[in-house]
Amino acid sequence: MTEQFDLVISTDTLCYFGKLEAVSKAAHDALRPQGWLVFTLESIVDGESAEDFRLNPHGRYSHNRGYVEAVLRDAGFAPVDAEYLTLRTEAGLPVQDWLITAQREGQLDTH
């Protein structure tokens, strides 16, 4: 089934993925034109690293905003927005996250 949903949400799950190309394409294919993808990721703070993503000692990945935006654009999403926030603490320290929202490109079928 493709183009069946208006919204795909994934919270606190994609931090267990390094590469995001396959999941971005799958979400794109599942969404109707102008549908929304909303998800969270742990962030590599801008300027902290040039890596696209990295595996952290706690077993979750952090992602670079530029990488995430490029992957989503390549999959057919625009616009892409990334809001920097803290969703949890670990060992008493805040874990920096992204709340990502992206809209699938395309025209709605009005027939």
Full-model pTM:
0.88
* Assigned CATH topology for domain 5-104: Rossmann fold (3.40.50)
Q: Where are the domains of the chain?
A: 5-104
* Phi and psi, residue 101, nearest 5°: -125, 135
Distance CA 96, CA 90 (A): 10
- pLDDT tens digits for 17-69? 999 999 999 999 999 999 999 999 999 875 566 789 999 888 999 999 999 99
Q: What is the largest CA-CA distance in the chain?
A: 54
